[in-house]
Amino acid sequence: MPKGTAEVATEAARANSLLSPRFYTTDFAAMDRLDLAGVRAEWDAMMAEYEGDNNHDHFQRDEAFGPELAAAQADWSPLLRQEFLDFLISSVTSEFSGCVLYQEVARRVEHPELKALMRYMARDEARHAGFINQSLKDFGMGVDLGALKRTKAATFFKPKFIYYATYLSEKIGYARYITIFRQLERHPDKRFHPIFRWFERWCNDEFRHGESFALILRAQPELLRGLNLLWVRFFLLAVYATMYVRDHTRPTLHEAMGLDSDDYDFTVFRITTEISRQVFPLSLQTDAPAFRAGLRRLVDLSARMEVAKARGGLVGALSKAGLAAQALVCFARLYLHPVDRHALPAQIRVAPAW
């Protein structure tokens, strides 16, 4: 049987590499000690929104979906097809890893409000993952989400790391989806798959998930000052750099949307940075020339590491190790690049206005 089947897709989704989405587990008893007193009013308003569930009927295909896909697909190059499927597989994995994490927290914590929140978010992510998986199934590449849950290894993270990482991944997820949606709204001729029509209301879910973690973080001010700011800096850089390197392996996908991978990523960074001022008192200078040069170098090193890996043998292994050391130095330089500092706003929540 030729490769390119559901098994291959599930295997790709299961592989843990530095760049692929992960599954997480945490210290649930510590999560139970969360005190929401400081953010009560905004928390209650947010929970009412989840209860209202304005997207309950959004994740269903309309009648135009099938014909639109059939027409668009005729123009895809093999490379676009490959990059797009790769994009869908990594998206479904990250949607589903959110779903599994939120379900797990909902199941394991005693804290009634945290439990309720996690159930709502797991509900949303299950819809997102299911909707993407339907599009993979069109190509016989559906990921077996049940098998993935049973067999993909989970990484342990302290609650505060879960909060920093999920806050950022929800907000960056919003910024990515809205940037694509706006671009294709301006250039409908570049919409090479109907799924992009769903992105606007979709990313409002992600935005709200990010708001939830913003409130959780602001309810624990000690996580946003002192030495913890070193962690904030680390997570910002890790999330941004990972996205940048991964996106630069898919130039054809962005080109098909009329986007340049670089412009797209820096737009996403600007939006994410603007939003994250609600919670982080510092932000990365992603538009500074030295910072940009460092990111480009990471892309270059990562591409050379792929070549070394493909070469194999002792020479390949040695050259890969050398390149990895250089990448580490490059990452450290980016980490030490100056950051902008700002005070946190009294009102935490912001509207998805991009």
- In the complex, the residues that contact Fe ion under the rule CB under 5 A are 95, 125, 128, 170, 206, 209
- Pair 159, 240: CB distance under 8 Å: no
Q: Which residues contact 52 (CB under 8 A, 6 or more apart)?
A: none
CB nearer Fe ion, residue 42 or residue 206: 206
CB nearer Fe ion, residue 203 or residue 305: 203
CB nearer Fe ion, residue 202 or residue 291: 202
CB nearer Fe ion, residue 59 or residue 192: 59
Q: Which residues contact 291 (CB under 8 A, 6 or more apart)?
A: 284, 285, 334, 337
Q: How far is the CB of 25 from Fe ion (least distance, A)?
A: 18
- Pair 233, 67: CB distance under 8 Å: no
Q: How far is the CB of 340 from Fe ion (least distance, A)?
A: 26
**Whole-number Å distance between alpha carbons of 71 and 279:** 44
Q: How far is the CB of 173 from Fe ion (least distance, A)?
A: 6
**Whole-number Å distance between alpha carbons of 5 and 347:** 49
Q: How far is the CB of 326 from Fe ion (least distance, A)?
A: 34
CB nearer Fe ion, residue 170 or residue 211: 170
Q: How far is the CB of 202 from Fe ion (least distance, A)?
A: 7
CB nearer Fe ion, residue 42 or residue 95: 95
| H or E element at residue 322 | helix 313-336
Q: How many H-runs (helices) and E-runs (strands) does the chain carry?
A: 14, 4
**Whole-number Å distance between alpha carbons of 94 and 31:** 22
CB nearer Fe ion, residue 55 or residue 326: 55
Q: How far is the CB of 98 from Fe ion (least distance, A)?
A: 5
Q: How far is the CB of 208 from Fe ion (least distance, A)?
A: 8
CB nearer Fe ion, residue 191 or residue 209: 209
Amino acid type, 25:
T
DSSP code per residue over 108-151: H---HHHHHHHHHHHHHHHHHHHHHHHHHHTTT----HHHHHHH
Q: How far is the CB of 295 from Fe ion (least distance, A)?
A: 25
Q: How far is the CB of 205 from Fe ion (least distance, A)?
A: 6
234-240 LR contacts (CB < 8 Å, sep 24+): 234/335, 235/161, 235/164, 235/165, 235/168, 236/168, 236/276, 236/280, 236/283, 236/284, 237/284, 237/331, 237/334, 237/335, 239/165, 239/168, 239/169, 239/172, 240/172, 240/269, 240/272, 240/284, 240/286, 240/295
DSSP-derived 3-state class of residue 95: helix
CB nearer Fe ion, residue 132 or residue 284: 132
